[in-house]
């Protein structure tokens, strides 16, 4: 089965811009992620457009609300035919369980965001979480696992620890990926594709390093090669 490891973030404010990038990519080589910006600008229709183009879609809306609202939002999102959706683990146990119960097992992948990869220790302190990022991430991953979620979104820096603790079947999705020499942008806890795979990540969310590349397809192929080489060693 074709299981591309890279999920390209279509972080654009119009479906036209997103279509230009997707038009340069290949559904055999990657999946795509539709997040808050594109979804808010272009609506559910945009999800259907990319599914029609052959891409499996990760709908990254990071639901975080009362259990009933999140459960219903997850149900409606799944009806769009997406491959993966997510909620915030910080929404707590009842919210996570409501999301899980709303969806058929073995269907859409349901993962929980642990800590945003843009957040470092200072950001945690600012919101009153006086703990190391890796401890917070581990606690939230345990919670997501106990609620029956398929996996978590985490930094590749924490993937190694999570892979060990959570076992082989727990899906680890890692944003904050930067090839060697790439700009860090607003990310904080970053890693190279090689490092992410070495640490046991299943899927790598990559936005600007691909969307800003002079030749996005070439960059995608280059990063896929780095991933394949590391998978062969793992």
For residue 172, the minimal CB distance to ligand C5P (Å) is 12
Q: Give the residue closest to ligand C5P by C-beta.
A: 207
Residue closer to ligand C5P, measured from CB, 104 or 214: 214
Residue closer to ligand C5P, measured from CB, 60 or 95: 60
Residue closer to ligand C5P, measured from CB, 75 or 208: 208
For residue 212, the minimal CB distance to ligand C5P (Å) is 8
For residue 179, the minimal CB distance to ligand C5P (Å) is 10
Question: CA-to-CA distance for 192 and 198, rounded, in angstroms?
Answer: 10
Catalytic residue check, 62: yes
Residue closer to ligand C5P, measured from CB, 91 or 207: 207
Residues that bind ligand C5P (CB under 6 A): 9, 11, 35, 60, 113, 116-117, 153, 175-176, 185, 187, 205-209
For residue 156, the minimal CB distance to ligand C5P (Å) is 11
For residue 11, the minimal CB distance to ligand C5P (Å) is 5
SS (H, E, C) the chain: CCCCCEEEECCCCCHHHHHHHHHHCCCCCCEEEEEHHHHHHHCHHHHHHHHHCCCCEEEEEEECCCHHHHHHHHHHHHHCCCCEEEEEHHHCHHHHHHHHHHCCCCCCEEEEECCCCCCCHHHHHHCCCCCCHHHHHHHHHHHHHHCCCCEEECCHHHHHHHHHHHCCCCEEEECCECCCCCCCCCCCCCECHHHHHHCCCCEEEECHHHHCCCCHHHHHHHHHHHHHHHHHHC
Question: CA-to-CA distance for 228 and 234, rounded, in angstroms?
Answer: 10
Residue closer to ligand C5P, measured from CB, 101 or 145: 145
- Residue of 48, 53, 62, 221 marked catalytic: 62
Active-site residue list: 62
């Amino acid at each position: 089965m074709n299981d591309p490891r890279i999920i390209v973030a279509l972080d654009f404010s119009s479906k036209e811009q997103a279509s230009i990038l997707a038009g340069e990519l290949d559904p055999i080589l990657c999946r795509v992620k539709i997040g808050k910006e594109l979804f808010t600008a272009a609506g559910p229709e945009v999800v259907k457009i990319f599914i029609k183009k052959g891409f499996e879609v990760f709908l990254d809306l990071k639901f975080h609300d009362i259990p009933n609202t999140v459960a219903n939002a997850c149900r409606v999102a799944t009806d769009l035919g997406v491959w993966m959706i997510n909620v915030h683990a910080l929404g707590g146990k009842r919210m996570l369980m409501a999301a899980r119960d709303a969806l058929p097992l073995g269907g859409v992948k349901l993962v929980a965001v642990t800590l945003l990869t843009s957040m470092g220790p200072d950001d945690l302190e600012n919101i009153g979480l006086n703990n190391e990022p890796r401890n917070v991430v581990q606690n939230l991953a345990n919670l997501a696992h106990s609620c029956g979620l398929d996996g978590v979104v985490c930094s590749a820096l924490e993937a190694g620890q999570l892979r060990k603790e959570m076992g082989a079947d727990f899906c680890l999705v890692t944003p904050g990926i930067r090839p060697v020499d790439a700009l860090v942008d607003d990310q904080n806890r970053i890693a190279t594709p090689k490092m992410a795979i070495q640490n046991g990540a299943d899927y790598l969310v990559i936005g600007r390093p691909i969307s800003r590349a002079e030749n996005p397809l070439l960059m995608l192929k280059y990063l896929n090669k780095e991933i394949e080489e590391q998978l062969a060693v793992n």
